[in-house]
Amino acid sequence: MVEEKGKSSEAKSPGRIALKIVIGDQERDVTYEELCLSNNLAQEALVRLLVKKKLFKSEELLNEMEQVRKERYRSSKEFPTSK
């Protein structure tokens, strides 16, 4: 791929659009990457705030995350194979 001088390939390829937001008369596309980064930022800020306020300890969060992982996600070894 040939890049234009001063422009990265990222600038030319904005990514898949996850949603459109409208604020007043302005419309903006939000990519999946932007949405993911925004969610991660908000989640990290929320966890930090809850730990600072001593609503739970970081170890409790890690334990809960491990429990959720066990309940929700399976390794590829656990998936049935078709023959």
pLDDT tens by residue, 14-51: 689 999 999 999 999 999 999 999 999 999 999 999 99
Q: 7 in a domain, yes or no? A: no
Q: Is residue 43 part of a domain?
A: yes
Residue 70 belongs to some domain of the structure: yes
Token pair for residue 67? 């429990």
Segment 39-67 mean pLDDT? 95
Q: Note whether residue 3 is domain-resident.
A: no
Range of the domain at 40: 15-76
Average pLDDT across the chain, whole number: 84
Q: Is the pTM of this model over 0.85?
A: no
Q: Which residues contact 38 (CB under 8 A, 6 or more apart)?
A: none
Residue 37 lies in a domain: yes
